[in-house]
Amino acid sequence: MADVDLRRVSIFVRVVEAGSFSAAAAGLGLPVSSVSRSVTAFEEELGVRLLHRTTRKLSLTDAGQTYFRRMQTILAEAEEATEEAMSFGRDPHGLVRLTAPVDLGVLILPALVAKLSARHPRLTLELALTSRRIDLAEEGYDLALRAGFLEDSSLMARKLGNTDLGIFAAPAYLERRGRPRTMADVAAHACVVYRPRGGKLPWRLEGPRGAETADVTGSIIADDMLFVRELVLQGGGLGLMPEAIVSDEVKAGRLVRVLPKYAVSGGALYLVWPSRKLVLARVALVRDFLAQELGGPA
């Protein structure tokens, strides 16, 4: 039976999963040249080409495709078995990488991360808070919080709940401009408009008489919900915002719900992860902790 260098196998699998030598090198913490040489040496050792290399992308040969599928499963099982063996009698340890939108991350994750870290001090959590939609498999992330509609069908997902939006304002603004009584009144007010890429300015909310629309105007349009919230807190106008990110401000009296019988269903909140057959024990621990804390069903 031929001896196989498992380190070279692991590097080859990581290159294929990441889609490039540079992405794999970043995830492994190695120079790109070292990763490239390792794969080349491994092909020479096997006596077969595994990858087609072009200036733009990598692709698997037929032999590489077969070898990758088998070895990816074997390595995942080996890593899981090692993880479980090492965890007996010890607290889970190792790195878990998590990404989330900025607003969700800032408002939801700090308390949860602190609680998890206190409970499992041997875990290392690396967070990327960004509005950019990170490719989990390519960039080496284990978990992501995502709101709205899921576009990537290759991911596993657990629904945590729904994000409803309402209209909110600071008491000082309402004292100055008056409180809207109908959706038609809203259109006459200054509004701080959240306008994501491709978004629209009309606010369409469901109320007692069904859906009603207000064509709002605002001198300030932003693509960051935290900025919208802070500007509304400063009395800048009405804001259509997720209830979850303003609940503390409402309880403290710093914000007031306007037209409380009107709301927008803003889509679902999900916890997602790459669809591998096996999930590392430490990743499963973080995933299940977040799902439980955020109210997601199994």
Per residue in 229-255, pLDDT (tens digit) is: 999 999 999 999 988 889 889 999 999
Query: Average pLDDT, stretch 264-284?
Result: 80
- Within 153-223, strands assigned E span 155-169, 190-194, 202-207, 210-215, 217-222
Query: pTM higher than 0.85, yes or no?
Result: no
Amino acid at residue number 195: R
Pairing mode, if any, of strands 143-148 and 94-100? parallel
Helices (H), the chain: 6-18, 21-28, 32-46, 62-87, 102-119, 136-139, 171-177, 183-186, 225-233, 243-251, 281-293
**How do the domains of the chain map onto residue ranges?**
6-87, 94-162+268-293, 163-265
Give the pLDDT confidence score for residue 52 in this predicted structure: 86
Residue in the structure block whose two tokens are 């629209």: 200
Give the pLDDT confidence score for residue 1 in this predicted structure: 40
pLDDT at 177 over 90: yes
Pick the CATH number of 163-265 from 3.30.70.20, 3.40.190.290, 3.40.50.720, 1.10.600.10: 3.40.190.290
Who has greater pLDDT, 225 or 196? 225
CA–CA gap between residue 263 and residue 190 (Å, rounded): 19
Q: Give residues with Cβ within 8 angstroms of 98, minimum separation 6.
A: 109, 125, 126, 127, 128, 141, 142, 143, 144, 145, 286
Amino acid at residue number 235: G
**How many CB atoms lie under 10 A from the CB of residue 73?**
14
3-state secondary structure of 35: helix
Query: Average pLDDT, stretch 157-161?
Result: 86
pLDDT band at residue 156 using 50, 70 and 90 as cut-offs = confident
Could you say which architecture CATH assigns to the domain 94-162+268-293?
A: 3-Layer(aba) Sandwich (3.40)
- Domains 94-162+268-293 and 163-265 belong to one CATH topology: yes
Contact 163, 103 (CB under 8 A): no
**Which fold, 6-87?**
Arc Repressor Mutant, subunit A (1.10.10)
Q: Give residues with Cβ within 8 angstroms of 91, minimum separation 6.
A: 120, 121, 122, 123
Pairing mode, if any, of strands 190-194 and 238-242? parallel
Q: How far is CA 133 from CA 150, 254, 269, 275, in A?
A: 11, 32, 15, 17
Give the pLDDT confidence score for residue 88 in this predicted structure: 56
pLDDT band at residue 160 using 50, 70 and 90 as cut-offs = confident
CA–CA gap between residue 289 and residue 119 (Å, rounded): 11
Give the pLDDT confidence score for residue 3 in this predicted structure: 66
Contact 195, 223 (CB under 8 A): yes
Per residue in 24-80, pLDDT (tens digit) is: 888 888 898 898 899 898 888 888 888 888 767 788 888 888 888 888 878 777 776
Query: Average pLDDT, stretch 200-208?
Result: 85
Q: How far is CA 61 from CA 8, 56, 145, in A?
A: 17, 16, 35
Give the pLDDT confidence score for residue 87 in this predicted structure: 58
CA–CA gap between residue 295 and residue 108 (Å, rounded): 13
CA angle at 78 for the pair 75 and 81, rounded to the nearest 5°: 150
CA angle at 85 for the pair 80 and 90, rounded to the nearest 5°: 115
Per residue in 121-150, pLDDT (tens digit) is: 989 999 999 878 888 887 889 999 988 777
Residue from 148, 194, 175, 141 nearest 17 by CA: 141
pLDDT at 113 over 90: yes
User: Over the chain, what is the mean pLDDT?
Assistant: 85
Give the pLDDT confidence score for residue 104 in this predicted structure: 81
